Amino acid sequence: MIRLDAPLMVSWGLVLGFGLVMVASASVAMEAPFLARHGIYLAMGLMGFLFMLCVPLKVWNRTYMMALLGALTLCGLVLVPGVTEEIKGARRWIDLGSFTLQPAEIAKAAMIVYWAGFLARRDEALRESPLPALLPLVFFAALVALLILQRDFGNVVVLSAVLGAMLFLAGLRLRYFGLLVLAAFGALAGLIWMEPYRVERLVSFSDPWASAFDSGYQLTHSLIAFGRGEVFGLGLGEGIQKLWYLPEAHHDFIFAVIAEELGLAGALALMALLGLIVARILHTARTALGAGDKFAGYLCYGVALLLGVQTLINVGVATGSLPTKGLTMPFISYGGNSLIVCAALVGLVGRAQLERDSR
């Protein structure tokens, strides 16, 4: 019997609709037609979802090395002068006329496909020795270098966490996993120390009120939004932090707008829905692995981890629990790349479910 996981699809649908409403509310004061664009991206995302639903997973399993190449090429392309424009001191976007491509978002999905393909082939060897992991780690280091050159620190953290967790799930021995985590934290500290602006963000994160009109500005207004929202919020559309106080209200800080307008209740409900989505994908992954379908299993783990980690970091940043990073909230934040890629990833999960049930 062919069917998709109902709790996943229902909660995903709810989250998508919710995102549309909140983008509408958060961008109400802005001149650009963000709502219309978000609607178009949503439609494109659903097309991506359906496309992924139709393509057999074995196509991706066979071409997993192409995914790696594609990710590295795209991220390298961004750095070629003339291809990209610098926006807010960062080179992350390729202008395609009406659409701006953000290679890092696509690279994230591609890397998950690559890692799933790799683990599907080498997980048993990995349990014996950590050496097979060296090759993907070297490739990942290359990608990290490209991302750091784009000053895209947030996605480095997300992808590192996803890769670490996937290696852990594949059965990497704990002592090697421990070493890996230590090495990762060391590299992280080194990267932070390298760039003064990252140190500054770390400092302002620890006490945003000390620099409330400077580097802590965004964060303080995000926190104020939570305080003003209380339990049930001021009501949809009634928030004021989005009225120029929060510069990224419809984007990275949309969770703050939700908390101000819909309160604790709205914020926790959204977190519960996103948590349910992640949990259902984790469940799909586990069933697939259990049935011996390794590529589908690792792929779903990768998707669940990516969505989960990104959600946690986004909420963590908005609530001042983590240092500020430019990361979107999956399915909610305005932004075509993130929305379309995330929808396509859900499509991959759906395909895994379809193939699972049809056996």
Partner 1 sequence: MKVWRHHAVLCLFIAGCAALAARVVYLALLDKEFLQDQGDARSVREVVIPSRRGVIYDRLDEPLAISTPVVAVWSDPSKRKLSRADINRLAPLLGRDAEQLADHLVRHANKAFVYLKRRLSWTAAERVRALGIEGLHFSEEYRRYYPGAETAAHVVGVTNIDDRGLEGVELAFDDLLSGEHGRKVVLKDRLGATIRDLEYIAVPRLGQDVALSIDLRLQYFAYRELKDAVAGHRAASGSIVILDARTGEILALVNSPSYNPNESLELGFAGMRNRAVTDNYEPGSTIKPFAVLAALETGEYQPDTVVNTAPGYWAVRRKLIEDPVNYGELTLAGIVRKSSQVGISKVALALPERAVFEVLQRAGVGDFVGSGLPGEAIGTFDDSGLRSEVVRATLAYGYGLSVSPLQLAQAYLPIANDGVRLPLSVVKLSQPPQGERVFAAAMTRQLLSMMEGVTERTGTAPDAQVPGYRVAGKTGTARVVVSDGYTDQRHVALFAGVVPLTDPQIVMVVVINQPSGPKISGGAVAAPIFARVAERALRLLGVAPDAQHLIAAVEGRRS
Binding site for partner 1 (CB under 8 A): 29, 31, 123, 165, 168-171, 209, 212, 220-221, 223-231, 240-241, 243-245, 259, 263-264, 267-268, 271, 275, 278-279, 282, 285-286, 289, 301, 305, 308, 312, 315-316, 319-321
Region class of 294: left (phi > 0), else alpha (psi between -120 and 50), else beta:
alpha
Nearest to residue 299, comparing CAs of 350, 236, 226, 241?
Answer: 350
And the tokens for 80?
Answer: 């070629």
Closer of 79 and 271 to partner 1 (Cβ): 271
Beta strand extents in the chain (DSSP E only)? 94-95, 100-101
Q: Name the minimum Å distance from CB 52 to partner 1.
A: 23
Minimum CB separation from partner 1 for residue 185, in Å? Answer: 16
Min separation Cβ 95 and partner 1, Å: 22
Q: Which residue shows structure tokens 């259990």?
A: 290
CB of 235 to partner 1, least distance (A): 13
What are the b/e assignments for 7-28, b being 16+ CB within 10 Å? ebbebbebbbebbbbbbbbbbb
- Kindly tell me which of 78 and 267 has the beta carbon lying closer to partner 1: 267
When the beta carbons of 259 and 341 are compared against partner 1, the nearer one is 259
Instruction: Assign 3-state DSSP to the chain and report helix, strand, coil percentages, each to 5.
Output: 75, 0, 25
Q: In the bound complex, what is the minimum distance in angstroms from residue 64's beta carbon to partner 1?
A: 19
- Smallest distance from the beta carbon of 354 to partner 1, in angstroms? 22
Contact 317, 359 (CB under 8 A): no
Residues facing residue 101 across a β-bridge:
94
In the bound complex, what is the minimum distance in angstroms from residue 173's beta carbon to partner 1? 11
**Residue closer to partner 1, measured from CB, 289 or 343:** 289
Nearer to partner 1, 92 or 251 (CB): 251
The amino acid at residue 182 is L
Q: Which residues of 206-236 are buried (b: 16+ CB within 10 A; e: fewer)?
A: eebeeebeebbbbbbbbbbbbebbeeebbee
Whichever of 266 and 336 has its CB closer to partner 1, that residue is: 266
Q: Which residue has the tokens 């999960």?
A: 349
Q: Residue 149 or 279: which CB sits closer to partner 1?
A: 279
Nearer to partner 1, 16 or 169 (CB): 169
Q: Residue 319 is encoded by which pair of tokens?
A: 């609530």
Query: Least CB distance from residue 160 to partner 1, whole Å?
Result: 15
For partner 1, which is the closer residue by CB, 24 or 278?
A: 278
For Cα atoms 190, 194, 196, give the angle at the middle one, nearest 5 degrees.
130
Contacts of 303 (CB under 8 A, 6+ apart): 112, 281, 345, 346, 348, 349
Q: How far is the CB of 47 from partner 1 (least distance, A)?
A: 29
Cα distance between residue 115 and residue 117, in whole Å: 5
Question: DSSP letter at 101?
Answer: E
* Cα–Cα distance for residue pair 327/343, rounded to 1 Å: 17
